[in-house]
A and B are shown apart, each in its own frame.
Chain A
């Protein structure tokens, strides 16, 4: 038994068998499709229904969709949204959000806010790269949210489509809220 064992060990040493064994794995991988994405040089395709960073959207004419109704804040389970609204001074009787904050560090990406939004002003995008050295920048304000919405407009629309919220631009107009005109505008007697 001892001699046989010693012979095997000798042969292993002379023929570098263990090296070959290891190389087998290496060579096998040369013909195998790589599993690892070379992030950040390479990026994964993300499904349309993906719940990424939130963005605010505008209509085609550049008008803000958001009417500051605060339903997203009410729907948010992690209470990361804050909306402050006001009457638009330049357009009487139009309601809009003067400030809009999403604390993305608190966000649980449930998408309820998007579902709650009556005018489809909020949408989730495929954006997920917002790591930072300064945590304060993770409080997305209105400007940042509109920037995200603008940059990822196509993704946002696809998100709404994937979640059966709206189909196309035509339908987005159907959701649009038309504010009443003040009585003074159409004549003092208000015909």
Chain B
């Protein structure tokens, strides 16, 4: 409909003056009248309106009287115009609205007592507000309930045809999975084509449904809204950091709801650049792991018979004693620790302090090492910053977005809506470079489907093309002319034809992509796992910096380089210094000034500046017998890394393996001591999202059984070792973080970062750039297929496999995903089996056709390891950042 001026941000709409209820109001021309009225603070009832999409105008509630017109007009679909005189209140309008409510109620079943929306229903509220007490001519639709979907039930008897579900799916999610259909004499909402609903299951339709027409299968009939305790907390499944409400009854989680709801329908469409308040399938339906039966409830200590439940005091005492013993016998260097980035900032902070001051070792790492560290290290090295550069508003309003190797709709579904809004609402050119047919690629103006593993080469091609077409920004490059000539010289090694051959993309497309990116006034780069988790991730990120720099997109407002993180608090893990190369801040671990500051703050000397091993080396040292004790907090290397990496052997050499996890993971089964930890829903603290916003976690439940907060356990261990860490509650830790990192919390707002590439470009750039571009082609193996370990939207790491709801939606099919063409070519009907062989071994498994997979590629979800497809992959390690790469391999596929 295009009613809102915000959809064309570059042109300023004219200001108009109108009169509403005797008040003179100014507004932008073309805005819906309803928006103007609500911006005055007046609330006119409306059941089909929501600020996140264009007005629909079906409910007939938002009636107002316009001078000069006899009958009331619907304010939502009426455009505000100069000189309008509007009345929003009065008995006649009340009667007209009451009539509209009665019309809806006359075909609405009065089944409120069994309806899940009872007490949270707009029609109920409206009937009450307008005093509808008697209905003449009520009739029932008697439509059977559509329970075919795995997640949502559609009871079309209750539907008021407001279209909110359809509109949010179309305008905000851009999935368009729902439609109106005339069936049995009534207009009903059905899944596209009247099949079982099969979509991303974000549940936004459920959130905006003002009645109980769409209900949640996972909590059907088990609650009434007034029985639930609502806790506002932050989702830790991915780095988006969505706010959500965990609704609990006694000790169980009943459902998760989002700030997006029909209840808060008033807002400015323009505000959606900061998010629309919704959740994705993981956040909304993946809560069952919190009160899962598999949760650990008491500490376990290994004796001759195996892991036996032990009281906390004894378990802590035994562990502390053995840590002390190992420290005295082998020295601090023989101890190492790994922590998951799903922990809070406070826990990450206490962890690194515990490791560095109590155990005296710098062998510590977090799961940010699996990829995000590539981006952080590259940004730290080149730009002097440690996180993404842009806010979600920048991303939404960009004119060109270059999405490289980031299947963001799957990994970060809510943040991906910003790119979708850029495409749909703000008409940005989006270049999607990926080796999968991603959802974003379908929507993008320029989908570029490269061969697997060649995303980095394509980026080099873009740099080369930008230099060749003279798309160089003179202002940006003027400060470092030597660097520019060095880059030009280095790029001689790259030929566009070779890039085209390697990526499978014609030269013209590369040239066009470079032109679009360079010529747009606001261009944003978004890179993801296809860059940072693939070999040479660090160098490829630096190539992206080159691209942004030469085209002048590094320091202009609204431009920048960004990444999205996989786990909830990877950015927090970096900021809290949980890496051997960083101290909290993050500042370089070797920096003398920072070392001085922290050793004073902690009252202890820090381990040697040159010491410290990261994830890969820690496991290698375990294997070599150099590390004797390993402390794992929520980490499960045995489940995460391929078998060829020898984690099992590494663990078997340990004298003490401490696992701290809510579940008994594969690794924990090898442990000597297992501490039961809490999930995010029981924690108090903060997490930092990928944008740098520090957001709160609030406990929705008491810790299950005897499980304890991670930092409590660390403080307990420290006490057992005779060091006291001065924390009694989370606020104590926060106070210390505030002291050592002033302004870190920043009231939950992301602190602005300024990228400064000056020092990087002037010092040593010339030498490094030559080496980077001289990198030859990856050697061809004889194996024709690229195997990718992919992330699914329905899962996040291994954690989501403990959520029964997500497992219902997306169980492990145990099948290799291949494109239809390849399936046909190999003569594989659905259900056929293949033998997949890589250099690491071979495996037999089923095949399923997947439209997202490109020919020449096959994929398997990384969340599952049954059959162990992951073990076909060899681990490569980045020479600079020590990031392990194990997401892709070359394989041969034979039909059996």
Contact = CB atoms under 8 A, between A and B. Distances in A.
Interface string A171-191: 000000101111111101111
A153 interface: no
B114 to A, nearest CB: 5
A85 B113 CA distance: 12
A50 interface: no
Contacts of A177: 111, 113-114
Contact of B221 (A86, A119, A186, A189): A86
B224 A184 contact: no
B129 interface: no
B224 A70 contact: yes
A127 to B, nearest CB: 26
Contact of A182 (B113, B147, B223): B147
A95 B144 contact: no
A109 B611 CA distance: 74
Nearest to B155: A180
B147 A183 contact: yes
Given A177-B114, A179-B114, A180-B155, A95 B221 contact: yes
Q: Give the one of A92, A181, A183 with max B CB within 10 A.
A: A183
A182 B157 CA distance: 12
Interface in A78-92: 84-87, 92
Contact of B144 (A70, A74, A119, A190): A190
Contact of A67 (B114, B143, B226): B114
B264 interface: no
Given A69-B113, A73-B227, A185 B222 contact: no
**Dominant SS among interface residues on chain A:** loop
B144 A87 contact: no
A182 to B, nearest CB: 4
B182 to A, nearest CB: 13
A97 to B, nearest CB: 10
Interface in A143-191: 177, 179-186, 188-191
A55 interface: no
Interface string B224-239: 1011000000000000
Between B144, B222, B226, the greatest number of chain A beta carbons within 10 A of the residue's beta carbon is seen for B144
A184 B148 contact: yes
Interface in B109-134: 111-114, 118
Contacts of B762: none
A175 to B, nearest CB: 11
B227 A92 contact: no
A68 B147 contact: no
A186 B144 contact: yes
Contact of A118 (B113, B145, B148, B183): B113
A23 B148 CA distance: 87
A92 B147 contact: yes
A70 B148 contact: no
A116 to B, nearest CB: 9
B221 A183 contact: no
B54 interface: no
B191 to A, nearest CB: 11
Given A185-B144, A190-B146, A180 B157 contact: yes
Nearest to A180: B145
B212 to A, nearest CB: 12
B144 A69 contact: no
A74 B226 CA distance: 8
Given A74-B224, A85-B221, A87-B221, A67 B113 contact: yes
Contacts of A71: 113
Interface residues of A, number: 29
A119 B194 CA distance: 34
Interface in B83-102: none
Contact of A183 (B114, B148, B220, B223): B148
A93 interface: yes
Nearest to B184: A191
Contacts of B146: 182-183, 190
Nearest to A185: B144
Contacts of A191: 184
Interface residues of B, number: 25
B288 to A, nearest CB: 15
A183 B227 contact: no
A182 B196 CA distance: 13
A120 B147 CA distance: 28
Contacts of B221: 68, 85-87, 95
Contacts of B194: 189-190
Given A119-B113, A180-B144, A190-B146, A70 B227 contact: yes
Interface in A93-110: 93, 95
Q: Give the interface centre of A71, A85, A190 by most chain B CB atoms within 10 Å.
A: A190
A181 to B, nearest CB: 5
A188 B226 CA distance: 36
A87 B145 contact: no
B107 to A, nearest CB: 14
B411 to A, nearest CB: 33
A95 B157 CA distance: 17
Given A182-B145, A183-B148, A69 B226 contact: no
Given A73-B227, A177-B111, A177-B113, A85 B147 contact: no
A180 B227 contact: no
Nearest to A188: B148
A164 to B, nearest CB: 17
A186 B145 CA distance: 10
A177 to B, nearest CB: 6
A71 B118 CA distance: 10
Contacts of A186: 144
A166 to B, nearest CB: 16
A70 to B, nearest CB: 4
A181 B145 contact: yes
A21 B28 CA distance: 103
A87 B112 CA distance: 15
Contacts of A67: 113-114
A19 B36 CA distance: 97
A180 B221 CA distance: 14
A162 to B, nearest CB: 23
Contacts of A74: 224, 226
A186 B184 CA distance: 13
A117 to B, nearest CB: 9
B291 to A, nearest CB: 15
A69 B114 contact: yes
A92 B144 CA distance: 12
Contacts of A183: 144-148
A69 B224 contact: yes
Nearest to A181: B144
Contacts of A92: 147
Contact of B220 (A87, A180, A181, A188): A87
Contacts of A184: 147-148
Interface in B732-750: none
Interface in B182-223: 183-184, 194, 220-223
Interface in B174-188: 183-184
Interface in B130-164: 142-148, 153, 155, 157
A150 B146 CA distance: 36
A180 B224 CA distance: 19
A87 B143 CA distance: 19
Given A177-B113, A185-B144, A69 B157 contact: no
23 contacts: A69-B112, A69-B113, A70-B224, A70-B227, A73-B224, A74-B224, A86-B221, A87-B221, A92-B147, A118-B113, A179-B114, A180-B144, A180-B145, A180-B157, A182-B146, A182-B147, A183-B146, A184-B148, A185-B144, A189-B194, A190-B144, A190-B183, A190-B194
Interface of A: 67-71, 73-74, 84-87, 92-93, 95, 118-119, 177, 179-186, 188-191
Top 3 A-B pairs ranked by shortest CB distance? A69-B113, A95-B221, A182-B147
Given A74-B226, A86-B221, 14 more contacts: A68-B114, A69-B118, A70-B224, A73-B227, A95-B221, A118-B112, A119-B113, A177-B114, A180-B157, A183-B144, A184-B148, A190-B146, A190-B183, A191-B184
